């Protein structure tokens, strides 16, 4: 019976096991290994794996496919250790959130008889760990695929099929592009959420703030609950891209801050909010299925024209209301000088 090995049985590794089980795939033995023996045993009890391996060698023994779902920094060591154990034609993939460094490790450490095809399921939830694993975690999600230059075509197809079996949509992309795009839509949000939570929770008023924090605060800071291993590994392996986007984020905050502070730029502030809402609504309604540069650019510019049109009317109406409010405030201020 063909064998697949999952190394690392946290939220992602455990969910891959459960998803494969639920896909109804027969004739595949899934072996699993986690450096915490208790997690490996629990994964078997949960039905995420068929066989609980007692070490890495036992896990990859005879495996045609190896999925490395450990924290990013452990991948290098895992590759080093399994390299001499892999059979000819074996396919190795991973699930790390950054891809350039992982591909460099694979190039360096794996024998030429083995194909490495990087992978990154773009899915997650508030709580990490095996207990949060679920078969439906990847359903309808994108799963980035970043093959090494030397990967066999058959190996790429194997990983794409694995992704589809998990319910996700494979998106093939260059590793460097992957890291630069993910810095904007995944790693920067992680830092934004972490900074937001850390700011409030280190305030002396935190007990009062926490009591008044609603679902908006909870959603916006959700990523601050990410595994600290994961967060830190992302920073370490995608540093330049991330720092670039943090700088641009601070500039954007500074721009909004200026609009908020300056009574004369209320029209621009209104337009900014209206444009963001309209763009996000369009994004939620029809998220692009996969990167298709030529077509996407047409859609974007057509969408832009439509947005400008819709937003325009709204901004004119609101600006009138706001000007009236500001005039009223000034009148009030003159009428009630004692309150100033």
Residues 122-151 touching its own copies, rule: CB under 8 A, are 122-126, 141-142, 144
Q: How far is the CB of 7 from its own copies (least distance, A)?
A: 17
Among 55, 87, 111, 299, binds its own copies (CB under 8 A): 299
Closer CB to its own copies, 29 or 267, in the complex: 267
Closer CB to its own copies, 283 or 306, in the complex: 283
Q: How far is the CB of 197 from its own copies (least distance, A)?
A: 5
Instruction: Put the strands of the sheet holding 65-68 in their side by side order.
Output: 51-52, 29-33, 3-7, 65-68, 91-94, 115-121, 142-147, 169-172
Task: Report residue 306 as tokens.
Answer: 């439509």
Restricted to residues 222-281, the positions that interact with its own copies (CB under 8 A) are 222-229, 231-232, 235-236, 239, 242-243, 245-250, 252-254, 256-257, 260-261, 266, 269-270, 272-277, 279-281
Q: How far is the CB of 29 from its own copies (least distance, A)?
A: 30
Give the separation between CA 340 and CA 336, rounded to whole angstroms: 7
CB contact at 8 A, 137 and 15: yes
Closer CB to its own copies, 28 or 246, in the complex: 246
Among 2, 89, 129, 288, binds its own copies (CB under 8 A): 288
Restricted to residues 203-222, the positions that interact with its own copies (CB under 8 A) are 203, 205-222
Q: How far is the CB of 281 from its own copies (least distance, A)?
A: 6
DSSP H or E segment with residue 180: helix 175-182
Restricted to residues 67-96, the positions that interact with its own copies (CB under 8 A) are 73-74, 76
Question: Where would I find the beta strands (DSSP E) of the chain?
Answer: 3-7, 29-33, 51-52, 65-68, 91-94, 115-121, 142-147, 169-172
Give the separation between CA 153 and CA 191, rounded to whole angstroms: 37
Part in contact with its own copies (CB under 8 A); list of ranges 41-49, 82-90, 147-155, 314-322: 314-322
Give the separation between CA 126 and CA 130, rounded to whole angstroms: 13
Closer CB to its own copies, 44 or 238, in the complex: 238
186 binds its own copies per the rule CB under 8 A: yes
Q: How far is the CB of 303 from its own copies (least distance, A)?
A: 10
Rounded (10°) angle between helices 228-237 and 72-82: 80
Reduce the DSSP state of residue 248 to 3 states and report it: helix
Q: How far is the CB of 215 from its own copies (least distance, A)?
A: 6
Among 113, 134, 188, 331, binds its own copies (CB under 8 A): 188
> What percent of the chain is helix, strand and coil (3-state, nearest 5)?
60, 10, 25
Closer CB to its own copies, 153 or 251, in the complex: 251
Among 321, 327, 330, 331, binds its own copies (CB under 8 A): 321
Q: How far is the CB of 73 from its own copies (least distance, A)?
A: 5
CB contact at 8 A, 201 and 150: no
106 binds its own copies per the rule CB under 8 A: no
Task: Report residue 60 as tokens.
Answer: 């990859």
Closer CB to its own copies, 77 or 154, in the complex: 77
Widest pairwise Cα distance in the chain: 87
CB contact at 8 A, 91 and 64: yes
Closer CB to its own copies, 64 or 303, in the complex: 303
Quick note: the x/- pattern for its own copies over 6-45, rule CB under 8 A, is ----------------------------------------
Name every residue whose Cβ is closer than 8 Å to that of residue 68 and which is 6 or more positions away in sequence: 7, 8, 75, 78, 79, 92, 93, 94, 95, 96
Q: How far is the CB of 96 from its own copies (least distance, A)?
A: 13
Task: Report residue 161 as tokens.
Answer: 């099929």
DSSP, residue by residue, 251-266:
HHHHHHHHHHH-GGGH
């Amino acid at each position: 019976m063909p064998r697949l090995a999952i190394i690392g049985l946290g939220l992602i590794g455990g969910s891959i096991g459960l998803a494969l089980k639920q896909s109804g795939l027969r004739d595949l033995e899934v072996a699993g290994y986690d450096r915490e023996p208790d997690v490996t045993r629990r994964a078997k009890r949960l039905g995420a794996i068929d066989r609980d391996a007692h070490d890495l060698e036992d896990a990859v023994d005879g495996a045609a496919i190896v999925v490395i779902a450990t924290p990013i920094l452990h991948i290098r060591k895992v590759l080093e250790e399994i390299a001499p154990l892999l059979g000819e034609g074996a396919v190795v993939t991973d699930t790390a959130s950054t891809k350039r460094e992982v591909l460099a490790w694979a190039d360096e450490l794996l024998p030429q008889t083995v194909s490495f095809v990087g992978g990154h399921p773009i899915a997650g939830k508030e709580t990490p760990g095996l207990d949060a694993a679920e078969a439906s975690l990847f359903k309808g999600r994108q799963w980035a695929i970043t093959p090494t230059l030397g990967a066999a075509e058959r190996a790429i197809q194997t990983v794409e099929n694995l992704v589809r079996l998990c319910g996700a949509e494979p998106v093939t992309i260059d590793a460097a592009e992957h890291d630069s795009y993910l810095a904007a839509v995944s790693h920067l949000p992680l830092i934004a959420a972490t900074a937001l939570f850390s700011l409030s929770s280190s305030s002396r008023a935190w007990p009062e703030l926490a009591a008044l924090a609603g679902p908006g605060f909870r959603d916006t800071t959700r990523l601050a609950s990410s595994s600290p291993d994961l967060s830190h590994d992302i920073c370490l392996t995608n540093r330049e891209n991330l720092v670039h986007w943090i700088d641009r984020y601070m500039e954007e905050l500074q721009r909004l801050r200026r609009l908020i502070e300056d009574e004369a730029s209320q029209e621009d502030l209104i337009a900014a909010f209206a444009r963001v809402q309209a763009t996000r609504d369009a994004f939620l309604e029809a998220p692009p299925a996969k990167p298709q540069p030529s077509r996407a650019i047409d859609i974007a510019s057509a969408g832009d024209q439509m947005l400008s049109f819709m937003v325009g009317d709204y901004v004119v109406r609101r600006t009138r209301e706001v000007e009236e409010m500001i005039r009223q405030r000034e009148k009030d201020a003159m009428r009630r000088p004692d309150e100033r």
